[in-house]
Amino acid sequence: MGNLIQNEILGLKWLNRLVGRALSAIGLDLSGRIGGSIQFFFYDVIKITILLCVLIFVISYIQSFFPPERSRQIMGRFHGIWANLIGALLGTVTPFCSCSSIPIFMGFTSAGLPLGVTFSFLISSPMVDLGSLVLLMGIFGYRIALVYVAAGLLIAVSGGTLIEHLYMEDQVEDFIRNASLAVDITAPDLTIRDRMIYARDQVASTFRKVFPYILLGVGIGAVIHNWIPQHVVETVLGNRNPFGVILATLVGVPMYADIFGTIPVAEALLSKGALLGTVLSFMMAVTTLSLPSLIMLRKAIKPKLLTAFIVICIAGIIIVGYGFNLFQGALTGI
């Protein structure tokens, strides 16, 4: 039953067979590089699109119960590390990319929530969400998916806690700190139909935003999977290179994509011999520290705090990456 859920429901392996039969029927040689790349591309695009639409609908329906004002009220009830944990957990049911999370982060900060709590939210939101959990389970298995989410939450909580103890509230831009705190907009009660419409609209909106990155990510994955020799990937990102985690993290920082666009690349790298922690560090860096999101974040915070945020995230991602590599055998069952 476990294999059935893993392979056929989450992994959609039946879809891969269906795509393979369709391509074979038109005379394509799936054993060749071109045929294999085309099969990989169509299978992954369709698979991720199906999972994406289903997951966004479900998660958006859940999100409708947690508008920013309600989330702020929830986080305001907790203190200390528990507040950081709640902030990180709320990040798992909010927007799918870092650029979408920053306006909410700005609103939370303006509302007077502790700086460390808002940063726990900011780190968690793009790095760890319910969609990434299901997608990772479908591709890498439940062990890796659960540990990835746990590691992401650990980075979010510890990073936010550290920022809180640096006492850098003065590094928030004045227009954020001086925003009126008297505004208290309570979201109206929504009917089931309202929530369904909201979820449907979120599917359409998010799909339009992320689909180009899905195509790009799957395209890169197809090239890696079928055209780059395995020994090259093993040399650069495998156990032959002790600095692979650092390299993957630093390469991922300037890129911009969300979890749905990076998973195909990670899948292809892993199949070619890259170490698990190295691949997941790349994913975390891309989703959390993309250059566009850092530019947006600079509008809200000053350089000193932005630098601290980047350094803390990079250090946490690298530590987690080496940890994954150390325990790869236990996680993958090999």
pLDDT tens digits for the chain (334 residues)?
556 665 667 667 888 899 999 999 999 888 888 998 999 899 988 988 887 788 778 877 877 776 666 777 777 777 888 889 988 888 777 655 555 677 778 777 877 788 899 899 888 887 776 766 777 777 777 788 888 888 889 999 999 999 999 988 889 887 776 654 433 444 557 888 998 998 899 888 878 877 887 888 888 888 887 888 877 887 888 877 889 999 988 888 766 666 667 878 888 888 888 898 898 898 888 878 877 678 878 888 899 999 999 999 999 999 999 998 988 877 765 4
| CA atoms of 193 and 316, how far apart (whole Å) | 42
The total number of structural domains that make up the chain: 1
The residues with which 301 forms a beta bridge, in sequence order, are 172
User: For position 181, what pLDDT does the model report?
Assistant: 44
User: For position 97, what pLDDT does the model report?
Assistant: 58
Task: State the residue range of the domain holding 112.
Answer: 2-332
* φ and ψ of 172, to 5 deg: -85, 135
Concatenated DSSP letters for 204-239?
HHHHHHHHHHHHHHHHHHHHHHHHS-HHHHHHHHST
Residue 273, phi-psi category: left (phi > 0), alpha (psi -120 to 50), beta (remainder): left
| CA atoms of 286 and 244, how far apart (whole Å) | 15
For residue 223, the tally of other CB atoms under 10 A from its CB is 16
User: For position 190, what pLDDT does the model report?
Assistant: 80
| CA atoms of 208 and 167, how far apart (whole Å) | 40
User: For position 2, what pLDDT does the model report?
Assistant: 56
- 129: closest CA among 159, 107, 110, 156? 156
- 248: closest CA among 309, 142, 324? 324
Read off the amino acid at residue 210.
Answer: V
pTM: 0.73
| CA atoms of 16 and 36, how far apart (whole Å) | 11
Residue 94: CA atoms inside 13 Å, Cβ hemisphere, count?
29
